[in-house]
A and B are shown apart, each in its own frame.
Chain A
Amino acid sequence: MILQMAWRNIWRNKMRSLVIALSVAIGLFAGLAVLALHKGMLKSRVRTVIDAEVSHIQLHHPLFKKDYEPQFTLTGNEQWLNDIRSSALVKAVTARSVTQAMLATTAGSAGVQVNGIIPGTENEVSRLDKKMKEGTGLNPQKKNEIVVSRKLADKMKLKTGSKLVLTFTDTAANIVSAAFRVTGIYQTENTPLDERNVYVKINDLDELLGIGNAFHEIAVLLKNDDDLLTVQKELQQKYPGVLVESWKEISPETELMVNTMDYYMYIIIGIIMLALAFGIINTMLMAILERTREIGMMVALGMNRVKLFLLVFLETIFLTMIGTPFGLLTTWLATEYFYKRGIDTSSFAGKTMSSFGFSSMIYPEFPAEELVTVMLIVILTAVFSCIFPAIKSGRLQPVEALRK
């Protein structure tokens, strides 16, 4: 009967209860919408990291990443690529030679990372061809062609057909310089990464570095994200002397973001709910004040403090819970709508997002996995909100309450 009483009590003042329910719905919508936006942003960022930047797994000589010295190549060559490619879990594999260089044009110079790539397999792994904005890219038949990013091209005043000079050290520590012609300009969603990376054919770079047909890096793209650990373990067992890293180790900042963002979001929802809790406390206190005599009468008749607490608690829970489905439904509808269409932040945030490596298009995703936690936060809010009013009602003396 206490359950029934609690439910009916909250409808004694419909307008007041509806206002609180609406506040809960709006609060929940705000919290979940932020969660959905961040989830969409993060998912897109992780996708970019895997599909366009570092792939799922990379293999290097254990000493290569320390100073990027060209002599630390992988010894297995083509055979390794074929072996890795033959795994049923692997989608694509490519090899790269990598060196740090100074890029110089008539407009100035810049430090860059030169990636010597095999155009065909590179496109399968990092979709470089899809990012091409100008030019034709690298022609396997021609020598010393280079693809630079839009950001770098603008900075160094480069166009397709422009010439530039790359200077770096070879395996014998000699300074090597070579002229390259820009045959493509690419653009990704990660401006800082764009500015740093240029692409040449692997044969051109290997020849200049003096490493023959060797390479420094193998990038592995998997069919399924969930197989990451399995494949990483397999590769590590197969090539014990090689550094086998997953994207989480190569891009720890992304991993950190994924791991910590949820906590930030819960804190945001917690703050919203805390603010709401004071509204609920106010409503419940008013409700108790209005019913002082009735509560006094119930205590006089023999309703103990535990049951009274339960009554106030249930009323608070109901009050909070009424708004919850509306909050969830509106969030779900909004995220479904924007998940299909996306939110283009470039119209109001310019290139802010891409300067941090995020896509300017956000596809918010309903945080279904976090629903249990969100519901727990809502219930905790109700519990927190009911404590003070419940204590207040429990302290009412029946004689004094009945006089009111």
Chain B
Amino acid sequence: MAKVIVVTSGKGGVGKTTTSASFATGLALRGKRTAVIDFDVGLRNLDLIMGCERRVVYDFVNVLNGEARLKQALIKDKNCDNLFILPASQTRDKEALTQEGVERILNELKETFDYIVCDSPAGIEKGALMALYFADEAIIVTNPEISSVRDSDRILGILSAKSHRAVNDAEPIKEHLVITRFSPTRAEMGEMLSVVDVTELLSIPLLGVIPESETVLSSSNAGIPVINDKDSSGGQAYVDVVSRFLGEEVPMRFLDVEKKGLLKRIFG
């Protein structure tokens, strides 16, 4: 049975799209047929992070409006055979995102894919609500920072009250916490909320911690999701996230200050 996973956060700029791109790529690399949908109508960016911006012909809204078939709009990933991207439209036609339309497209995707990853826009407006409405599982992306934690908590409230599962008294959405931009050094100094703090405050199971890593930006620059960079801590952390999501027991990494990292920091 295909699963719909929403990647959401409430707050903007915390790493939803980066996480969606790497998580979807990771699932595909593990042999799962995966589709990733950009729900940020009007501000599409997933195509840039995935490096397929020049191959966008039709988009999500075109399919919703019946101007293109789903197969025409899906873009096959350049590195992964099992991965397809459905880009958002650049027009501000948010009204096109109707519950019926989104449900129809998700059902059609469910016929061919194992996992459908929904990259939510920031905020709690229509795009964000539509991205989470039909979710079976949710990845909450949170920075160890006060406003991000509060907004994540707000989104958790919406997941448990306004999603399709909540409205229909079905089994609740399975929630996973992914902490991004974590700096072990700053957390150890007491400048940054620790992983334990954030996990306790939000009280949902921790799926992974992505350390602050320079390669995340360079991967975005290149349009290759950071999970492809096996040498970087960011890439390895996303590999772990995918493994844990698939039920494997993988110990948490990158939580403590590494001596190597420290020496590197001092001597450049």
The answer to whether A and B belong to the same complex is no
